[in-house]
Structure 1
Amino acid sequence: MALAETVLRKVYKLGLLPKLFLILPRVSFLLALASVAWLLMLPMDGQFRNTYISENALMPGQVTSYFRESEWNYVRGFRSEVVNWNFSEMSTDNELLTNWLQDFGWSVSKHRDPKTNTTTTYAIMHAPRGDNTEAMVLVVPYFTSEGMPNKGGLTLGPALANYFAKMSIWSKNLILVFPHNGHSVLRSWVEAYHTTLDATAGSIDAALVVEYPSDSDAFGHLEINYEGLNGQLPNLDLINTVTTVASHEGIRVSVQGMSPDDIDKRDYWSRLQVFASGILRLATAGISSKSPGCESFSGWQIQAITISAAGEKGHDVTQFGRIIDSSFRSVNNLLEKFHQSFFFYLLMSPRHFVSIGTYLPAAVLVAVSFAISSLYSLASGVTTPEFITHISDVLFIFTGIEAVCLLLSLLMQTIVVNATEGYTTTITIVYGLVISTLVTVLSTLAGNNIKILSKTHSYMLLAFALFFIAMLIVSMLIVHFALAFSIGICALPLTFIQPLINMCNAGNGSLIKHKLRIAMCLLISSPITVVVALGYLINDGGMFGIANFSHGLFVSWDAMQSWTYFIIALGWYPAWSAIAVACIFGDFRIESVKQKAD
């Protein structure tokens, strides 16, 4: 106690607390930079790890696949029929495919989805050596994630069904699913399989979604998509299994849409590109209608990835079939569910990854940055007695803002989901919200003299909103790192508002410039601005891209049970709104010593 008292007296005598208070904004900003620098450091040599098979029972590539020349006639025969299909009509009722599967000995059933008004055909082959409790799923959608007819996939599907039926090695049941697409239709089937379907084949251990849009015999390389909903990822062993099998076939593997020229590169920039793309795709999983399909299995402890044939030459279609065959035979070796290896990771390349313990500190630094900004805002104009007296009032104000955001989010979601012209409605809503944001910014610039909130309430509301974002990031650190980090970086300009307000009070620089900067911070950090920007940049561009992306965000919960919309609408947006309310209706003026003397 004596030592602590001595230290406190020394701190007070030297005036360290005021000096520490003045550098808090710089500390906050440096922590945010450190979080970005942390991630930028991970693709460097020595900071990542090579992938490996943790579960020895998988033994990928240790058996000979017989899906070879003997199956060529089947593949060509099925393709001669598939290329003439009208895929839009066949996806609703394909009696020809049903007859093929029944002829091979598969039990065929259908699932009618009332939401999308589509019918999904699926077939089950019970394992001759199994106990009918576990299954593996092969999904062949009629349309790929890019909206192209999955001609090669619909060719390989029945060919593999015929091939699998002739083998007696299976200890797990096999399920073939033919949905209209890999997005909401497949998600509906997965949900129905675990709730209402009568024809089932036990718990699903793993699933492969196949995309082969070409009707050619040849393809160039294999692309793997693995992102799931709400931050979920498949067990890394499944990706490693497919990658190992493909390498034994001499096929190059791509992740995150790597070009063939970048696949063999082992430099910093290629790893950084894949790393950054992985974070962005995981943060926006379930929003875009261009779903690769694997994310539809999230939430049911199913390890699922999507494999796509890309390129035009180099390998033949039977090699693609052998990848599926060998991967299923590896999973068939497991006596229990996937539990080894990693469930939280980010890939740098098909052969390199970083685990959660390596990248998690980046989001922690961002959360601490917001917490320090909250402390700075609180200390700028609130004393301890004022804080104790008015904390309940600020909580009441923020709860009211949260309630309004909840009602608006439910209302907008209901309108978009039930609208006949979905894109038109979405455009109207998005641009209406953008206009409201601009009005808020203009109101800030106008310098409204109507101060509804007191000085204490203004400072405390801004501080609480910043602290709320910090807690939001902390709550999602492990569950959904990509979304937590993305929200932290996008909302970072909010931490600059309090220092700018203090500059206005101190008279440092032009008042108009400081208010303009505050308005820009509000505009840039708005979730609406970020959604519009993402829709324009990553989703086809233009108004159609914005409409498509925003529509996917609004319906993501109804179609895919994705949390992203509600995390933004009930987490990020209320905090941003509270800061905007404080800036417009708050009183941040602090009387100088001279004014008090007068």
Structure 2
Amino acid sequence: MALAEKVLRKINKLGLIPKARRLLPRISFVLALFSIIWLITLPQDGNYRNCYISENALMPAQVNSYFRESEWNIVRGYRDEIHKMENESIETRNKHLKEWLIDLGLQVSSHKNGVANDTLYAIMHASRGENTEAMALVVPWINSDNEYNEGAMALGIALIRYFQRISVWSKNIILVIPPDGEQSLRSWVNAYHTILDDTAGSIEAAIVIEYGKQGDNFEYYDMFYEGLNGQLPNLDLLNTANLISSHEGMSCHMQGISDRAINYENRLKTLFKGILKLALAGSRDVHGHEAFSGWQIQAFTIKAKGTKGPDITQFGRIVDSTFRSVNNLLEKFHQSFFFYLMLSPKHFVSIGTYLPSAVMLAVSYALSALNVILNSGIDINEIPQNITKLLTTATLIELFCLVLAMVIPQLPDDTINIVPTMAQGIFGLFIVRSSKASKTTSFTLIAFALLMIALLITALLIVHFALAFTIGILALPLTFIPLVIEKNRKLAIPCLIVSNPFTIVLIAHSYPEFDDIFLQLVRAWTELQCWTWLVVILGWFSAWLMIAYGAAGIYSSPPTLETKPKDVRETKLEESSI
């Protein structure tokens, strides 16, 4: 107690509280800057970890895979027949495949998803299993490049034929053949866990394969693992597949960067590309593994690229050996990490290492909100008198955003595409013609909105770090508005414009890889249950509207002289004079 009193006296004597109060804007900005610097330093040597297998039972690459050149002609035969079906309807293709799978002795069923064509699936019951656990091999008819998935389909059927000759399986194997890896597969996964009669037990792991028309050989494979709503597969599963491919002499690419070109620059690119891809998972480049998110199923996609190099049977051995490893498990994946950021197929950053960057962002917004209350010149005693109007305004804005979140997905695709452009004019008019709130209410509403973003980042930083970090960085200009609105009001308008989510969408439209990103974001919510759309509208955009409303109220009022907090020495002189 005595030590605390001594510290407090020292703080008061040095005037640290008024100094810290005046430095709040700078501290807030420095914390936001440090959050970015923190991530930039992670790919440096000593800050990341090498990938390893936590679960010893997996034992990857410990057995010899017999899916080799002897299966090559079988794959070719299936591929020739599948090639002839390219121009036929999916119903006709599924009819042929169903006959082949029944001839192999498999239990074949289909699911009508009500949106696209039937999703065909075949169950191979394990000879040593109890029909309680399963693994899924997914082969969509159309891959993520909108290309006929010819090689993968032939490989999938050849693999299930090969699996029947092995008597080691303790888990059932399901071959799933959806029209694509998006809504149709998601519908099948939901139906499998709810309404389907023909099931094979709890699915432990799933692998989606994409192999187009490369022919007999491919150069390398891309691995995709980012699930919906921040979910990631257990790191042991990725490490198992990558270790197997390394033993086979195959090159793996993540985010388009090879595992044979590992340096700081490439690790940094992989890190930030991975964060962006995870933040937008489900809205662009959907490969199929995303459909398994939310059901505790570890899933990833491997995609063959190039035409020269290893043969197609080597690609199949990744699936074979990975399934053999998963087959060894007696329980669900739990040993390794579920929260991580990949720097390469061989390096990763765990949650305890990257989490401080999002924490610093959240604190930055919280300090910015505190700065608005303490340094904006308003009388703090007036805030309780305006609390009813503040809560009413915030509630109305949130209800308006809720209506937008529900109505926009119901619009036709062409209309949804022009919503961001229309929004610029509508919300620009909103800012100009907004009701003239009092200065106290306006600044308090701005502080409340900044605090809301801080709480949003805090709520997401563990379950969806990528989305929390992305929103925190893109909305950062909102923290500058309280600083510029009293000094140079014209600067507040650019800050509002560049921090508007609809502006970000319009800027993204200029890049080919983000074309139709707004439509894809909305459709990801309706088709895949990806709640990024709701977070953006109900969290980021509602906070933006509150700050715009508050800024409009301040903008319409006459400028006032800036009131600086009194220094401790001035306060003592006043007290002594009294």
Q: Structure 2 length as normaliser, TM-score?
A: 0.93
Given that 1:360 and 1:478 are in contact with CA atoms closer than 8 Å, whether structure 2 keeps it comes out as yes
Given that 1:466 and 1:495 are in contact with CA atoms closer than 8 Å, whether structure 2 keeps it comes out as yes
Residues 338-417 of structure 1 mapped to structure 2, 5 A cutoff: 338-379=333-374, 380-415=376-411
The Cα shift of 1:91 comes to 5.9
Residues 553-592 of structure 1 mapped to structure 2, 5 A cutoff: 553-586=521-554, 587=557, 589-590=559-560
Name 1:118's counterpart in structure 2.
117
The Cα shift of 1:516 comes to 3.0
Given that 1:455 and 1:589 are in contact with CA atoms closer than 8 Å, whether structure 2 keeps it comes out as no
The Cα shift of 1:382 comes to 3.2
The Cα shift of 1:75 comes to 0.9
The Cα shift of 1:473 comes to 0.3
Name 2:504's counterpart in structure 1.
530
1:36-57 alpha-carbon deviations (Å, 9 max, x no partner): 0000000001100000001111
CA distance change for structure 1 residues 84 and 375 in 2, over 3 Å: closer, same or farther?
A: same
Of residues 498, 516, 521 in structure 1, which corresponds to 2:495?
Answer: 521
Given that 1:455 and 1:588 are in contact with CA atoms closer than 8 Å, whether structure 2 keeps it comes out as no
Of residues 453, 456, 461 in structure 2, which corresponds to 1:472?
Answer: 456
Residues 475-486 of structure 1 mapped to structure 2, 5 A cutoff: 475-486=459-470
**Hey, what's the Cα distance between the residues in 2 that align with 1:240 and 1:352?**
10
Of residues 401, 421, 438 in structure 2, which corresponds to 1:431?
Answer: 421
Moved more, 517-526 or 3-12: 3-12
1:1-31 alpha-carbon deviations (Å, 9 max, x no partner): 6765666566556554433222111111100
Matched, 1:494 2:478: yes
Matched, 1:147 2:131: no
Moved more, 304-313 or 130-139: 304-313
**Hey, what's the Cα distance between the residues in 1 that align with 2:230 and 2:217?**
35
**Hey, what's the Cα distance between the residues in 2 that align with 1:42 and 1:311?**
31
Given that 1:501 and 1:588 are in contact with CA atoms closer than 8 Å, whether structure 2 keeps it comes out as no
CA distance change for structure 1 residues 75 and 6 in 2, over 3 Å: closer, same or farther?
A: closer
**Hey, what's the Cα distance between the residues in 2 that align with 1:96 and 1:254?**
34
**Hey, what's the Cα distance between the residues in 1 that align with 2:127 and 2:138?**
21
Over aligned residues, Cα RMSD in angstroms?
1.9
**Hey, what's the Cα distance between the residues in 1 that align with 2:530 and 2:245?**
32
**Hey, what's the Cα distance between the residues in 1 that align with 2:561 and 2:342?**
54
The Cα shift of 1:501 comes to 1.9
Matched, 1:307 2:302: yes
SS at match of 1:342: coil
SS at match of 2:200: coil
Name 1:229's counterpart in structure 2.
228
The Cα shift of 1:377 comes to 0.5
Matched, 1:325 2:320: yes
Given that 2:132 and 2:202 are in contact with CA atoms closer than 8 Å, whether structure 1 keeps it comes out as yes
Given that 2:259 and 2:346 are in contact with CA atoms closer than 8 Å, whether structure 1 keeps it comes out as no
The Cα shift of 1:385 comes to 2.0
SS at match of 1:54: coil
Matched, 1:458 2:442: yes
The Cα shift of 1:88 comes to 6.3
The Cα shift of 1:437 comes to 4.0
Given that 1:224 and 1:306 are in contact with CA atoms closer than 8 Å, whether structure 2 keeps it comes out as yes
Residue type of the alignment partner of 1:353: F
Name 1:596's counterpart in structure 2.
none
Name 1:55's counterpart in structure 2.
55
Name 1:33's counterpart in structure 2.
33
**Hey, what's the Cα distance between the residues in 2 that align with 1:199 and 1:98?**
15
CA distance change for structure 1 residues 77 and 389 in 2, over 3 Å: closer, same or farther?
A: same
Given that 1:92 and 1:180 are in contact with CA atoms closer than 8 Å, whether structure 2 keeps it comes out as no
CA distance change for structure 1 residues 396 and 88 in 2, over 3 Å: closer, same or farther?
A: farther
CA distance change for structure 1 residues 72 and 467 in 2, over 3 Å: closer, same or farther?
A: same
The Cα shift of 1:414 comes to 1.8
Residue type of the alignment partner of 2:328: N
**Hey, what's the Cα distance between the residues in 2 that align with 1:81 and 1:466?**
60
1:513-534 alpha-carbon deviations (Å, 9 max, x no partner): x333211110111111122333
**Hey, what's the Cα distance between the residues in 2 that align with 1:8 and 1:383?**
25
Given that 1:381 and 1:459 are in contact with CA atoms closer than 8 Å, whether structure 2 keeps it comes out as no
Name 1:248's counterpart in structure 2.
247
Residues 77-92 of structure 1 mapped to structure 2, 5 A cutoff: 77-86=77-86, 89-90=89-90
Given that 1:227 and 1:233 are in contact with CA atoms closer than 8 Å, whether structure 2 keeps it comes out as yes
Given that 2:436 and 2:552 are in contact with CA atoms closer than 8 Å, whether structure 1 keeps it comes out as no
1:237-261 alpha-carbon deviations (Å, 9 max, x no partner): 0000100111111111111122xxx
Given that 2:474 and 2:499 are in contact with CA atoms closer than 8 Å, whether structure 1 keeps it comes out as yes
SS at match of 1:312: coil
**Hey, what's the Cα distance between the residues in 2 that align with 1:501 and 1:55?**
56
**Hey, what's the Cα distance between the residues in 1 that align with 2:347 and 2:405?**
40
Given that 2:372 and 2:447 are in contact with CA atoms closer than 8 Å, whether structure 1 keeps it comes out as yes
Name 1:506's counterpart in structure 2.
none
Given that 2:31 and 2:360 are in contact with CA atoms closer than 8 Å, whether structure 1 keeps it comes out as yes
Identity of aligned residues (%): 51
Matched, 1:283 2:273: no
Name 1:271's counterpart in structure 2.
267
The Cα shift of 1:588 comes to 7.6
Q: Which runs of 5+ in 1 are unaligned?
A: 504-513, 594-598
**Hey, what's the Cα distance between the residues in 2 that align with 1:359 and 1:592?**
39
SS at match of 2:173: strand
**Hey, what's the Cα distance between the residues in 2 that align with 1:354 and 1:154?**
35
SS at match of 1:219: coil
1:434-457 alpha-carbon deviations (Å, 9 max, x no partner): 33244456x3xxxx7x86211110
Given that 2:485 and 2:491 are in contact with CA atoms closer than 8 Å, whether structure 1 keeps it comes out as no
SS at match of 2:127: coil
Residue type of the alignment partner of 2:395: T
CA distance change for structure 1 residues 330 and 459 in 2, over 3 Å: closer, same or farther?
A: same
**Hey, what's the Cα distance between the residues in 2 that align with 1:535 and 1:55?**
44
CA distance change for structure 1 residues 339 and 100 in 2, over 3 Å: closer, same or farther?
A: same
CA distance change for structure 1 residues 425 and 88 in 2, over 3 Å: closer, same or farther?
A: farther
Name 1:195's counterpart in structure 2.
194
The Cα shift of 1:591 comes to 5.3
The Cα shift of 1:180 comes to 0.9
1:40-88 alpha-carbon deviations (Å, 9 max, x no partner): 0000011000000011111111111111122122111111111222256
Given that 2:116 and 2:184 are in contact with CA atoms closer than 8 Å, whether structure 1 keeps it comes out as no
